[in-house]
């Protein structure tokens, strides 16, 4: 998946849930890339992906979750 960079943010973290309102599980750590490949997904399972943006690799001042993709 890919997303657009957020002004003022340098790091992003991808989350996954099995329902649009379900519990979000972080996939990996904070990253600078605006792309992510979920190599741990199970075929036949529907997933909802969300992204948060932050100012540093510690996740300082995280944004709200994005709309799901």
**Cα(35)–Cα(47) distance, integer angstroms:** 17
Comparing 11 with 69, which gets the higher pLDDT? Answer: 11
> Is 90 exceeded by the pLDDT of residue 35?
yes
42-65 pLDDT, tens digit each: 999 999 999 999 999 999 999 999
Averaged confidence pLDDT in the chain: 96
Please report which confidence band the pLDDT of residue 69 belongs to, taking 50, 70 and 90 as the band edges.
confident
pLDDT at 34: 98
pTM for this one? 0.92
- The bridge status of strand 48-54 relative to strand 25-31 is unpaired
């Amino acid at each position: 998946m890919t997303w657009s960079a957020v002004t003022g943010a340098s790091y992003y973290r991808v989350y996954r849930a099995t329902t649009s309102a379900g519990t979000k599980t972080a996939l990996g750590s904070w990253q600078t890339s605006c792309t992510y490949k979920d190599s741990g997904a199970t075929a036949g399972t529907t997933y909802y992906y969300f992204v948060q943006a932050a100012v540093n690799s510690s996740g300082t001042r995280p944004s709200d979750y994005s709309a799901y993709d």
